[in-house]
Each structure stands twice: as C-alpha cells, then as structure tokens.
Amino acid sequence: MQSEIKKIIIVGGGTAGWITAGLIAAKHIKTNSAVNTSTTPVSITVIESPNIPTIGVGEGTWPSMRETLKTIGINEADLFTQCDASFKQASKFIHWENTPDTCNINNSAASAYYHPFSLPSGTTKLNLASYIGEQYSELSQAQTFAQHVCFQSVLCEQNLAPKQITHKAYDYVANYGYHLNATKFAQLLKDHCLNKLGVEYLSSHITQINNDAEGDIASVSTDSAGIVEGDLFIDCSGAQSLLLGKHYQIPFCSKKSVLFNDSALAVQIPYDDDDAVIASSTLSTAQTAGWIWDIGLQSRRGVGHVYSSQHITDEKAEQELLEYIKSSTSEQQRESLSIRKLSFDPGYYEKFWHRNCVAVGMSAGFIEPLEASALAMIEQAAKMITEQLPANKQTMAITAKRFNDKFSQHWQQIIEFLKLHYVLSKREDSSYWRENKESSSIPQSLREMLELWQFQSPSTYDITQSNPLFPAASYQYVLYGMNFKTQPIRSNNKDIEAIHRSLLDVQNKRQHLAKAMGTNRELINKIKQFGLSVI
C-alpha cells in the first residue's frame, strides 16, 4: 500500500507560505475535523527562519485575492485595520507609448492609459474592441480605449472607491484588488492560520535536507527543532529556492533575453498629512531604461524603479527615481529616505513540482512586478495544490506533471503579456526601448499574435490554455491603450446598434459613479470605524 500524504511541511513563511498554508488548512484540516472524523486529518507545519524580512515595499494584488481571503476566512475589514491596505482597481501606464517631450501631457490619451480590473461592457455578447478599432481615429481624440468601453476608468481618474460602506465584505460595484503592506499582510495570515486553522509553526533555520532511499525528501534538519519529517514539502523559501533549486538543482530558465529588467531601487515615502489622496491604481511610469511603480497605501507610498542593469547604472537609476519623487517631497525628506537595492534574474525553474517537493512563489521563479503577477501566481499555485492534493505517493507523479504543465503555460503567458507592453512602445530615446522592439527579443508566438491583431482584435481564440491569467480583454486594454491599429471589420446594423447602446451605457455609468462614489480614503476611514458586513 502506498504511503498516504498526511504531513505537509512548508519551508518558509511570508506571503507565499501563509497563503499556501491557509488554503490547504481551510479545506483539508477544518473540513476533515468538522465533517469527516473517520479520515485522518492532514497536518501542516510551517518552518520559518527567524528574522528573515518579507520582501516588498507595498504589494499589489489582483481581484482573485478577495476569493482567496474569503476561502481562508480572513475578515476583509482586518486588511484595512492591520495591513495599511487600500483599494486597487487598475494599473495606469504613463509615458509608455511616447516620451514626455513628444506627447501633450494635457491629453490623457497621448500620455497614459489604464488596464482596469473590470471587463469591457457587454464583453460576453459584443466585441467593442473591434468597433473601437474601426472608429478609432475619430473616437480616440476624446477618450482612451478604457474610457470608452469600461466605466471603471473614471473611478481611477478621480481616486474613487470601488464600493460603498453599505456593501458586504468582498462585494463590489467595480472589480478590485488591494494595495497592502506585505510584512503586515504576512503577519495577519500567520496569526489566522495558527489561531483559527490549526496550522503548526516552527521558528528555526534549516541546516540540512535529507532524502530517503528513493530520492524523495524524507525530512529536514533544523538548528533548534531537531529533525522534521514530512510526506509533501512545499518550498516557499523565496529567491534562494532552498529545496527545488539548491537541493534538487532543477535547472533555471532565464528570460533576461526577453524581459531585460533585473534590478530595482525601492523606497517608502510617507504622506504629508493623514488625509492625503490615495490613488485607486498602481502608477507605472516609463523611464529611459525601465519604469517606476507608485503604490498608495494608507500611511505612505511605496515607490520603486525597476530597470535593466545592462542599460543604465545604479547611480543613474537612482537619479531618475529621485527626480520622479521630487515634486512630492522636500529636499530634507529626500535626504532622509532609505533606498533599498534589489537584484533578480528574471525567469523560472524548468519544473515546479519534483518528486515530493513543489515550489510556490519566488522559489519557483520571479520576473519584474509589472502587472503585479507575483501574488496571483502564489494564489494559483496554492489553489491547485489544495484542490489536487495527492492522496498518496503513487498518484503524486501524475499531479506533479499536470501542475508543471499548467504553470509552464502560466509563466509563458505572463512573460509574453509583459513583453507586449514594451513591444508596442514608440519610444526611441534609449537603446533599452529600441532593443525591446527587436524581433530577436520577442517570442515567436507573440510576433504571430501581433501580426494577426493588425486584422482582428484579440479574442478568446488567441489564448490556447484553459483558465488563463490574462483574458483577451487585458490584451485589448494594452493594445489600444498604446494606440495599436487594427484594420476595420464589417459589422451588421444590429451589432452596431447594440454596440452604440453599450458605449452609451458606459458613459452614463461613468457620470453616475463619479457623483455617487466616495474616495478611497473616505471609504477606508469608514471601514476602520464601522467594519464591513459579512452576512
């Protein structure tokens, strides 16, 4: 009889470790103990090295995080009272198409565009992208693509909230995720897992990884907790990839030839007062050899410059970062700021699940934070492990193959989607932007799609995998946000009438919500005072 999977050991805490622990525990510990007492419940132990800081100066999540937290059992109001959280509804891209000196900064269509979390109006019945592409020369003078097809852009433009205090926890008017303090978020998850879900915890350094006769990991040796045995080991050790990378030496697939960025400078900037405006989107502003993120939390902004070390020096990158924050800080404030340098090799491991070891988070791979895919990949991995948890070692190899196939597809889509942002740019101000558009740096499948999209808008037929991370609408937002041109298609009169009604509905909703919704700051203050209904 094959050995059952009863003891799960998660190596590393942080966001990856505690989300994984929370999802598995919510399904396999709480359910078994409450309903099926005849089944031996799974045990979950998180081994976390003491004094290892969580990487992050302000994390951005996707809307999927709402369902993840709801499943784990986290009270949404606790995010705002304990994690310095705010609402995120989109990513805003500034000066990606052209340099500031070549566009009219007073024309939003020329200088910036949004990738909102809400889909275009009537997306299941109508192809607004095709019509907008057909009429673009006339329409784009007044509004961007996202402003035409999605009401959510007005909430971002005015820093408004995606819901009202009368909405239940996790409900919404406009689809949203969060900006949050990564360290505080990990602590919230940890406390919940230990106090509510029965997860066990060891604060200890791992000194050795021990295999059994067949090559599976049998146990890990620690400096203060002795030898810890397990049946399934989940590697959440971050960039060091202690189990998958170092122990099993799974080859790493670098993608630096496609996505050039390998460095970041990060800084935290406090607000001048407690009522400062909190942006409703992540701001991504293009620079000469990279881009700057700007994430608004309750008490501060997390700002950082992501760049390619082959195209700009650290000193020059820091100058651009300081120039960016110059208008919102005093000289005295800038002198007191602590800037952190981060380095990374963009890419992922050849396999993510090997024998009885599976990697989640940075231990599986990492690329630049454009479009905030890191936490989404953690959620996807933890969810699949939870739902496909093998009953015994006999079936583990089958689960591992399916997991590896799925996440190879996810990584490939992420890399191509991020590359799309660079390929569409018309910037010529540096070798960085010029080389990003060279055919040799663009994956073949993306080159084919760009050729196809000259004649038809992105659609679900362009995405081959099931449950993709980025739907066709995401490609439409980026393509037409960057003023990509698709040749006109012929629409029948019935479709044209429906499209006009849908576009008019978007404009009406924009006007209504601009008046009805409060600001991010106002709603957060109300949540901290009154909480949110969970009934």
Per the DSSP assignment, residues forming a β-bridge with 206 are 222
pLDDT at 490: 61
Model confidence over 8-47: pLDDT tens digits?
Answer: 999 999 999 999 999 999 999 965 554 444 455 799 999 9
SS3 340: strand
Model confidence over 406-452: pLDDT tens digits?
Answer: 999 999 999 999 999 999 999 999 999 999 999 999 999 999 999 99
Tell me which residue of 391, 380, 362 sits closest to 42, measured CA to CA. Answer: 391
- Measured CA to CA, the distance from residue 470 to residue 452 in angstroms comes to 18
pTM above 0.75, yes or no: yes
- Measured CA to CA, the distance from residue 295 to residue 136 in angstroms comes to 31
Residue 235: pLDDT above 70? Answer: yes
> What are the CA-CA distances from residue 419 to residues 111, 130, 170, 179 (Å)?
20, 23, 32, 24
Give the number of other CB atoms < 10 A from CB of residue 429.
16
- Any idea how long the chain is? 535
CATH of 7-85+178-254+346-408, one of 3.50.50.60, 2.60.40.1180, 3.40.50.300, 3.40.640.10: 3.50.50.60
pLDDT at 40: 55
Residue 1: pLDDT above 60? Answer: no
**Dihedral sign for Cα atoms in the order 98, 104, 105, 111:** negative
DSSP result, 62-109: -THHHHHHHHHT--HHHHHHHS--EEE-EEEEESSSS-GGGS-TT-HH
Please name the residue that has the structure tokens 């006999």: 394
Cβ–Cβ under 8 Å, residues 78 and 189: no
Tell me which residue of 283, 321, 329, 287 sits closest to 304, measured CA to CA. Answer: 321
- Measured CA to CA, the distance from residue 134 to residue 125 in angstroms comes to 18
- Measured CA to CA, the distance from residue 303 to residue 381 in angstroms comes to 28
What residue segments make up the domains of the chain, in order of their start?
A: 7-85+178-254+346-408, 90-175+453-516, 263-343
pLDDT at 478: 97
| Tokens linked to 413 | 């889509």
